[in-house]
Amino acid sequence: MKQDNSDDSKYIIPNLQNALELIELISEYLEGLNLPKLVQMTKVPKSTIFRICSTLLTNGYLATPSYGSFGSSVNIRHFSERHICGERLNPI
């Protein structure tokens, strides 16, 4: 995963950064990625990836396109589309 060596890196939450990077990585693969492949590609401990993916799955940000794999969910796609279209859910 990425390492930020800037002065702002002290404000980074490592597991949140890992989760965001996992979402980005998983979204590149339509068929999803399994846990061993995610560990190999990220070099993040298996238990950390499993907990992050389980949390994202529980909250609807990941899906299981096939047994043992994690893929992008419809919710994450809708989230991205709202961002691209410039929609806001609540006025500021």
**Measured between alpha carbons, how far apart are the two ends of the chain, in Å?**
34
Domains of the chain: 11-85 (1.10.10.10)
Provide the residue-wise pLDDT of the chain in tens; the chain has 92 residues: 555 556 678 899 999 999 999 999 999 998 999 999 999 999 999 999 999 999 999 999 999 988 889 999 988 777 777 767 766 656 55
Name the residue with tokens 């930020």. 4
Q: How far apart, in whole angstroms, are the C-alpha atoms of residue 65 and residue 30? A: 9
Q: What is the DSSP string of 36-85?
A: HHHHHHH---HHHHHHHHHHHHHTTSEE-SSTTEEEE-HHHHHHHHHHHH
Tell me, what DSSP letter sits at residue 6?
S
